[in-house]
Structure 1
Amino acid sequence: MLDPRSIVFILAALSLLMAIVLSAMPSSMSDRQSGARHWSIGMLGVSIASVLYGLRGFAPDFFSMALANAVSLVAVALLYSGGRAFFGLPRHKPALIAALVISNLALLYFLYVEDHYASRVVVYSAVSGVLLFLVCRDVLIHRPRQADRARFPYLFTAFSVLFDVLVSCARIINALFVSSGGSDFLAPTPINALYFSTHSLLAICISVGFILMLNERLHARLQYQLSHDALTNAYSRSMIFELAQHELDSNQHPISLLLLDIDHFKQVNDSLGHQGGDAVLKHFVHTLADNLRHDEPLGRYGGEEFVVLLRNTPARDANATAERLRQAIADTPYRDGQNEYPLTASIGCATTHERQSLEQLLQQADTALYQAKRGGRNRVEHA
């Protein structure tokens, strides 16, 4: 059986490794992954505290006990703050600092005023256990719920943290009901070996969980960037076509496509400049999004042209939707300060027939759009 001192030094080495891995992540993501830096510094704190604990009997108690406890609690607080930052939640800094100050004063009291090992265990384990429980709660409550987001990284992290909370509770119970002096902290007993072994394993599991969460979020962001237009946040051309092709392949007819074009957009660019034109495109997409259901995806076809996919929508309903969108655009001018710029759109609509390809459907919608433009613009035409 490994003695607790050896396990503590192993924990120090593994925590330092996790700190290095986590520290590399924010710089490679331009600091967009909030929380990673907190977790990195927190794991570095666990490593430093473990080394100080391991020096028990070779270094003064101030370093191997008082300072080690303080660094360890700050490290746990950083893990909590990192989780809050990761999910964009308030970090409650004043309350957190107050809790750390009070708990460390209590630890100093039970070391220098009244040397009582069990009380130190209870104070330390209670504070760290509560903070870790709050980490678990935040991960479970605020983890992404979208169907296309992975669940495993968040559940793995939450249950790893929860298990560490249970270990802290077990340590409190052991300290309260089993007589133990201060010299027993690194004594080679089964209880100490079990505690430090479990704690070391869980510290690594929690770090791995953080890394999995960071990677999942990065993957989700990359997926979003690949599937959405960078300027307007509408679906990209390839993505809207992929969605349309999937609907065609599923043989769930009828399917309708709306092809929308902002009328006289060149004049908009000429009068407002290209930045103003970009703002108009964003305004246009925002107006459409406000008037579409969640199951009616909008994509940018190119330039000032956009595509709306209408699932299980016959020609009659597609025309009604197109007319509603046309009216909404006309009723929602673009505002630049005190100035208003009226907008209109021409819309071509096409509805599938059996065994019709996506190319044929797009061609029909494009033909209808051309007819709407030739007919005076600001109108809807159906192929």
Structure 2
Amino acid sequence: MDFQAKLLIQVIILVTGTSAVAWALMASPMRIAPRACWRYAVANVLMMLGLILNTLRGDGPSYVAWLGADLSLLAGIVMLRLGTVFLFRLPVSYRMDLFLWGAAALAMLLVSPEESSQQFLAIVFSLAAAAMFARLAMVTLQGLSPSTGRFMAMLLVAPVILAALSFVLRLGFIFYHEQAEERFISIQSNQALPVLWFYLVLAIAINVLAFGNALTRLVQKIRMLADRDMLTGLWNRRSAEEVMKKLHYKWQRGGEGYALVLLDLDHFKQINDTFGHQAGDAALRQAALVLSHALRDTDVLCRFGGEEFLVILSGANIKQAHQVAEKLRTCLEERALRWEGQDIPLSASFGCAVVMPGLSVSQLISSADNAMYQAKAAGRNRVMDSEPQVAS
């Protein structure tokens, strides 16, 4: 083996080995997306193993050195894709990965694992690698687009796309280049140094991209924790107030109005005192689920505090808000909480208010709150509308 080629291979092995350790540390004890990070760690180990096995290739036949090296590298690409799938919580599917890997393995078994077959083996490996990198690019793009935008996601995925294209180009060189064996098939010769440099940059770029993906996912999780109520999973009060400020700003500049429905679970303290706080938490979760299913995707539902929930209805008037509140009241009344063999009835008192000239966001919330307390004073489990008013 050429000394420079051997040195570059050792550097690539060092990079993949170090990356594997880093991913393992992120998975445990740091517990950052552990299912994804473990797969990234395994991917780097498999790629490192593939390179090590590649250095064992000689003149004689060897299934370990020839097929083992290529199949280990391909398995590493598969694990990179699966790590990305778990990182962004995309639908998990193994069938196409297993098909590509299995088809490559079967094709490689058609020839003797030795130097005379390396052109055929390189063709099979390049076809499989190109397809696998293309699949990795697609899931990475799918995972990044919602948070970064399509254009930025395309830029970030560029190294993976380049990897897929490089293996397609490698196929062309194998078929049409006179010195393909020395430059594009074997990585142990001096003429293969440009390819080895490319593999080194690719190994670094893919791991940097994966670390960036993990960081993006971590930021998304932190943002979600800041915006969501931990018990119910609904938007929290801070998020609701941000939504109302934006709607109010648009309305003041000639946009459509909006309405609020504020509701408070009836006899919630009694549920806590009689059945315990776990039952109270279960009641809040069930209420959140029932209310969510009864609303449109465009409606905003949040836990406003304690046993209070707030619904923000964009483009609604007071009559429409009342109709929505009545629907929510009925749905909630019909779904008793099943707790330790007993049915705990759930109901709520609703107050509706619509934005009007002169009312600030806080005043609008107060109007809905006053209407809600009127509903409680009138006997609970009913809907009341705020009186039209203009702030002085």
Q: Would you say the 8 A contact 1:268–1:277 is kept in 2?
A: yes
Instruction: Give, in angstroms, the shift of residue 88 of structure 1.
Output: 4.2
Residue type at the aligned position of 1:165: A
Residues 314/73 of structure 1: CA separation in 2 closer, same or farther (3 Å cut): closer
Aligned length in residues:
375
Please report the RMSD computed on the Cα atoms of aligned residues, expressed in angstroms: 3.3
2:304 corresponds to 1:301 = yes
Residue type at the aligned position of 1:365: A
Q: Would you say the 8 A contact 1:4–1:188 is kept in 2?
A: yes
Distance (Å, rounded) in 2 between the aligned partners of 1:61 and 1:342: 72
Residue type at the aligned position of 1:187: S
Instruction: Give, in angstroms, the shift of residue 29 of structure 1.
Output: 5.4
Residue type at the aligned position of 1:309: I
Cα-to-partner distance string for 1:274-326 (whole Å, 9 max, x where unaligned): 11111111111111111212222111121111111122322222222222222
2:218 corresponds to 1:221 = no
Residue type at the aligned position of 2:368: A
Q: How does 1:162-181 map to 2 (within 5 A)?
A: 162-179=161-178
Partner residue of 1:42?
Answer: 43
Q: Would you say the 8 A contact 1:154–1:209 is kept in 2?
A: no
Residues 342/149 of structure 1: CA separation in 2 closer, same or farther (3 Å cut): farther
Identity %: 25
Counterpart among 314, 319, 335 of residue 317 in structure 2: 314
TM-score normalised by structure 1 residue count: 0.84
- Match of 2:231, SS? coil
Residue type at the aligned position of 1:322: A
Instruction: Give, in angstroms, the shift of residue 236 of structure 1.
Output: 0.7
Residue type at the aligned position of 1:244: M
Partner residue of 1:136?
Answer: 137
Partner residue of 2:355?
Answer: 352
Distance (Å, rounded) in 2 between the aligned partners of 1:28 and 1:173: 45
Cα-to-partner distance string for 1:68-98 (whole Å, 9 max, x where unaligned): 4454333233324434444341324865774
Residues 42/318 of structure 1: CA separation in 2 closer, same or farther (3 Å cut): same
2:322 corresponds to 1:327 = no
2:381 corresponds to 1:382 = no
- Match of 1:294, SS? coil
Cα-to-partner distance string for 1:6-50 (whole Å, 9 max, x where unaligned): 433332333334333333322265363532211222223323443
Counterpart among 264, 268, 273 of residue 270 in structure 1: 273
Q: How does 1:111-260 map to 2 (within 5 A)?
A: 111=114, 115-140=116-141, 142-143=142-143, 146=146, 148=147, 150-151=149-150, 154-156=153-155, 158-179=157-178, 185=186, 186-189=188-191, 192-250=192-250, 251=252, 252=255, 254-260=257-263
Deviates more, 1:131-140 or 1:91-100: 91-100
- Match of 1:34, SS? helix
Q: Would you say the 8 A contact 1:46–1:75 is kept in 2?
A: yes
2:367 corresponds to 1:364 = yes
Q: Would you say the 8 A contact 1:326–1:344 is kept in 2?
A: yes
- Match of 1:354, SS? coil
Distance (Å, rounded) in 1 between the aligned partners of 2:110 and 2:208: 32
Distance (Å, rounded) in 2 between the aligned partners of 1:158 and 1:316: 49
Residues 289/74 of structure 1: CA separation in 2 closer, same or farther (3 Å cut): closer
Distance (Å, rounded) in 1 between the aligned partners of 2:313 and 2:67: 66
Partner residue of 2:10?
Answer: 9
Instruction: Give, in angstroms, the shift of residue 212 of structure 1.
Output: 1.8
Partner residue of 1:27?
Answer: 28
- Match of 2:260, SS? strand
Deviates more, 1:166-175 or 1:289-298: 166-175
Q: Would you say the 8 A contact 1:103–1:127 is kept in 2?
A: no
Residues 67/292 of structure 1: CA separation in 2 closer, same or farther (3 Å cut): closer
Instruction: Give, in angstroms, the shift of residue 262 of structure 1.
Output: 0.8
Residues 237/29 of structure 1: CA separation in 2 closer, same or farther (3 Å cut): farther
Deviates more, 1:83-92 or 1:226-235: 83-92
Partner residue of 1:91?
Answer: 94
Q: Would you say the 8 A contact 1:283–1:334 is kept in 2?
A: yes
- Match of 1:36, SS? helix
Deviates more, 1:249-258 or 1:218-227: 249-258
Instruction: Give, in angstroms, the shift of residue 216 of structure 1.
Output: 1.6
**Unpaired runs of at least 5, structure 1:** none
